Amino acid sequence: MLQSKTVVDYRFLLNGEWRKSISEHSISVIGTNKQTVGSVQAMTKEEIDEAANAAKAAQKLWEQQSLDERATLLYAWADELVARKEDIATTIMHEVGKNYADAEKEVVRTASFIKYTAEEGKRVHSDLLHGGSFDQAAANKVAMVNRVPIGVVLAISPFNYPVNLAASKIAPALIAGNSVLFKPATQGSISGIKMIEALDAVGAPAGLVNTITGRGAEIGDYIVTHPIVNLVNFTGGSKTGLAISQKTAMIPVVLELGGKDPAIVLADAQLEKTARDIVSGAFSYSGQRCTAIKRVLVADEVADKLVSLIQDEISQLSVGSPEENAFVTPLINEQAADFVQSLIDDALAKGAALVTRNKREGNLIYPTLLDHATTEMELAWEEPFGPVLPIIRVGSEEEAIAIANDSEYGLQASVFTSNIEKAIQIGNKLETGSVQINGRTERGPDHLPFLGVKKSGLGVQGIRHSILSMTREKVTVLNFSE
């Protein structure tokens, strides 16, 4: 891509108006190709206050709208995203280095997510409880248990799915009757802004969704502790998520954090399919997924064959720029590549065998496979968020389970075996939010529950669960005369 002569300075949406910040400062957004994609506003705390107040006022009106009226807005938003998919996908490609085909899939998937959310919101019903079912003395009491909006939701999205993981917070919040303060990651913010431009274009009420742009290091603490915010929904690193949970005190949080997802391969696994799933799970979007397969725990008797098959699969992966629609593309920035390389260097220094050559060009790291990795290596425990996969050979199922569980993370795991009963038994022993049997670790379909344990997250997502997390129960008790 050639450097554009005109760099667009994108504005933020505040109470229905697209504005430039009174700070007169902008933040350049540098793509993975190290060229400027555009710039976004460095908002002031005063502007954040104004956005929060606008969201609070808009929410009071929005919760009075019927579910059909809320759903109508979401349907229109989804259609508008599809109409703009080429522009938004191109922005995702240039901004965060995702190849165009995957970027376009992200936009289309997001539209489907929003439409399903609109439908699911209509299926969240109230309960009616009779006091006499607990105590005959309370037979004259009837409780109506309704779900009501939680208020103003702060949605903080990551760089790797700048549209999908933003909408997965915003759409459930809106159908539930909340308003939103949307803070995208700096690299990914232009894609997020374009997504909100689509929402604004179809008539979202002023103040219902407000965008907040600026560096998290400068405004992050201010927004997550803002007195008007009623819930924080964050996707990102575990260290940041832990800090948010500590600072928000009495404010509920939903956290989607890191992972060190293992693939456990038993001796009776169908190795050809297993190798394909492992390579897809480990190297798609260059491994920059919280649910990427990040280590393989394989039965020693089939390890040689599996490593050979994985090596063959890796050799077929295209590597290069996202504009060339390569499968493995540059990492988000140079610092990310430095970290991945440091993990590779540590593993090699401690005896790991390099199966595929470790080649690096700037922030592009070629897919790297390391055999004979051990638990003494940092790569066995650290989340690389990059295209490197260690093979750890194990002597028993018990050893694989122990290594998998001896981690600060607990997002997902895969178990590959022809014995489904054995797979379920192993899955029940794994300390993760989800277990994939004979398939790669991944998020979705989007209506399934999605959660992590330990430092991988807090709360449950997936469309219905996300809606429930952004509401609270309100009980009205009717007392009848005896």
Active site residues: 256, 290
**Cα gap 418→409, rounded to integer Å:** 27
**Cα gap 116→124, rounded to integer Å:** 13
Place of tokens 């924080």: 232
Helix axis angle, 67-83 relative to 85-96, nearest 10°?
Answer: 70
Closest CA to 147 of 188, 177, 120, 168: 177
Strands of 231-235's sheet in order across? 209-211, 179-183, 152-156, 231-235, 253-256, 457-458
What is the end-to-end Cα distance of the chain in Å, rounded?
Answer: 78
- Between the alpha carbon of residue 110 and those of residues 10, 160, 317, the distances in Å are 22, 14, 26
* Phi, psi (deg, nearest 5) at residue 129: -115, 135
Place of tokens 């109470």: 15
**Cα gap 149→144, rounded to integer Å:** 16
Helix, strand or coil, per DSSP, at residue 478: strand
Helix axis angle, 67-83 relative to 164-175, nearest 10°?
Answer: 160
DSSP state of 64: T
- Between strands 450-451 and 460-461, the pairing is antiparallel
Report whether 258 contacts 239 (CB < 8 A).
no
Task: Determine what percent of the chain falls in helix, strand and coil, rounding each to the nearest 5.
Answer: 40, 25, 35
Identity of residue 412:
Q
Report whether 466 contacts 172 (CB < 8 A).
yes
